[in-house]
Amino acid sequence: MQFTEPLKQNHIFRRLYAKGESAVGRFVVVYARRNGSGSNRLGITTGLKLGRAVDRNRARRRIRECYRLQEPELKPGWDIVVVARSAAIDGDFAEMRRSFLRQCKKLGLLREERT
């Protein structure tokens, strides 16, 4: 991911959950909050309820790919945490990508369309 740094510090995750905005979809829940820098930071969470490590890693890879494909359309300067839901493991990838895009649109993370 070209313009994105990883988000790994637990206190930033907790701050996003407490003070950030969220959008819920069938595949993922997206939390977002401005970070005051020129780049985005992405964190991905997959809980133990999703299943074995193989399933959780598959969900992470699919979420990371959804984000990578949308990255050029996202505004810079946001902390974003994506929480996987059970449909993220085996659901249709195209539908998952559309759902992720809808969640980003709800949170105002997309750049303005230029006409």
Query: Is 41:6 a contact under the CB 8 Å cutoff?
Result: yes
pLDDT, tens digit, 9 for 90 and up, residues 84-105: 999 999 999 999 999 999 999 9
Going from the N-terminus, what domains does the chain have, and what CATH number goes with each?
4-107 (3.30.230.10)
pLDDT, tens digit, 9 for 90 and up, residues 42-67: 999 999 999 999 999 999 999 999 99
- CA–CA–CA angle 63, 67, 73 (5° rounding): 160
Nearest Cα to Cα of residue 3 among 80, 61, 106: 80
Lowest mean pLDDT among 34-38, 47-51, 96-100, 111-115: 111-115
